[in-house]
Amino acid sequence: MKRVVVLGSTGSIGTQTLDVIRQHPGLFQVVGLAAHRRADELQAQAHEFGVTHFALADAAAAQTAGLPGGLSALIDLATLPEADLVVVAVAGVIGLEPTLAAIHAGKSIALASKEVLVAAGEFLMPLARARSVAVLPIDSEHSALFQCLQGYRLDQISRLILTASGGPFRGKQTADLENVTVAQALDHPTWRMGGKITVDSATLMNKGLETIEAHWLFDVPIDRVEAVVHRQSIVHSLVELSDGSVLAQLGWPDMRLPIQIAMTYPERIGPPARPWNPVDTPHLTFEPIDDVTFRCLALARDAGRQGGLLPCAMNAADEVAARAFLDGKLRFLEISDVVEEVMSACPTGTVDLANVLETDQWARVRARESIDQRLLCSHE
């Protein structure tokens, strides 16, 4: 039986992780849970699974609920002596220090928080490899790559090809996006996800973040990680090998499968959802990505190419800008403008924990200043 801690248990990935555990009660035992601020839901989960170690990431909400809280509580959960696997599904860079602590403690990691590797992959992945700690991807695209790469050496890989649904604005030009509403941006054609990641899908920033994540996860140069639009979201990623062979992983757009794969590796168990049947989707299409209209992808790739602290600053600026758009404080096209502005002023320095956390906070402040200035100008 694998003993599991779930960080982000009330979010989309967290709740689906618990669905997988419910389907296989003899394989998993939940020993720790953490949510952001949904105390009632967290306590209901703890009661259901008989968990005695649980906490809220939001310290104020934790104090109100009389629960352990804050970053230190997440780190305590990630390093529980009895835990075998830590599922990191919290949103944003808050997942970095618990992930790092879990690696130091020798825990296997099932990682859904792509921001962790975007901001700190440069030092986190070498540490995981040095300590022989498995970092198993939960993102559907990286799970697909992980599965296709089994048994192959780095020198046998020509390209990693991520697929993108294209989001709700596939085929649109810049002029068509001037007056995009929040409701339109959240109307994803195939996946149902949280607000921020859905906005990232609409701007294609998510493919930029995934490109950097793939670069660190699989130790493949950033310019050998590409993306194409695949509207049906059936092919989750492809790998081109040095002899020209192309391998792909296919399945319905259901996150329970990549979650289960990360949790059970190297074993395979019964499907958590209906298996895909080729005759149900006979027409699969692929198109090039428009990274001129959707500038966030190009910005993220550039950040990944330059490396250093730039990916961290880019990610933090995007989080702030996407939230401002959801709150009605920023226009859709201005998201990339804010990200680019923050990137252009990014400080340089060694990529270590202290500098990553400092850069993350600096970029958030700089992004908020940019957004406030834009609001001020729009009201003049």
Q: Is the pLDDT of residue 378 over 80?
A: no
Do 151 and 179 lie in a common domain?
Answer: yes
Q: What is the pLDDT confidence band of residue 197, given thresholds at 50, 70 and 90?
A: confident
Residues contacting residue 239 through CB under 8 Å, at least 6 positions apart = 145, 148, 149, 152, 157, 159, 160, 161, 246, 247, 248
| % of the chain beyond a pLDDT of 90 | 84
Do 30 and 107 lie in a common domain?
Answer: yes
Do 129 and 179 lie in a common domain?
Answer: no
Question: What's the average model confidence in pLDDT over 146-160?
Answer: 96
Neighbours of 177 (CB within 10 A): 18
Cβ–Cβ < 8 Å for 35, 24: no
| CA nearest to 330, candidates 273, 270, 374 | 374
Q: Is the pLDDT of residue 41 over 70?
A: yes
Q: What is the pLDDT confidence band of residue 191, given thresholds at 50, 70 and 90?
A: low
Q: What is the pLDDT confidence band of residue 189, given thresholds at 50, 70 and 90?
A: low
Q: What's the confidence (pLDDT) of residue 190? A: 64
Do 324 and 372 lie in a common domain?
Answer: yes
| CA nearest to 185, candidates 11, 369, 330 | 330
Q: Is the pLDDT of residue 359 over 80?
A: yes
pLDDT, one tens digit per residue, over 248-279 is 999 999 999 999 999 999 999 999 989 999 99
Cβ–Cβ < 8 Å for 247, 238: yes
Query: Does residue 328 lie in a domain region?
Result: yes
Query: Does residue 296 lie in a domain region?
Result: no
Q: Which domain holds residue 74?
A: 2-137
Q: What's the confidence (pLDDT) of residue 167? A: 81
Q: What's the confidence (pLDDT) of residue 91? A: 82
**Domain containing residue 344: CATH number:** 1.10.1740.10
Do 312 and 249 lie in a common domain?
Answer: no
Q: What's the confidence (pLDDT) of residue 114? A: 87
Query: Does residue 273 lie in a domain region?
Result: no
Q: What's the confidence (pLDDT) of residue 176? A: 86
pLDDT, one tens digit per residue, over 200-243 is 989 999 999 999 999 999 999 999 999 999 999 999 999 999 99
| CA nearest to 142, candidates 122, 166, 112, 108 | 112
Do 163 and 286 lie in a common domain?
Answer: yes
Q: What's the confidence (pLDDT) of residue 257? A: 96
pLDDT, one tens digit per residue, over 65-106 is 999 999 999 999 999 999 999 999 998 888 999 999 999 999
Q: Domain count of the chain?
A: 3
Query: Does residue 14 lie in a domain region?
Result: yes
Query: Does residue 203 lie in a domain region?
Result: yes
Q: What is the pLDDT confidence band of residue 379, given thresholds at 50, 70 and 90?
A: low
Q: Is the pLDDT of residue 195 over 60?
A: yes
User: Domain boundary residue among 137, 161, 182?
Assistant: 137
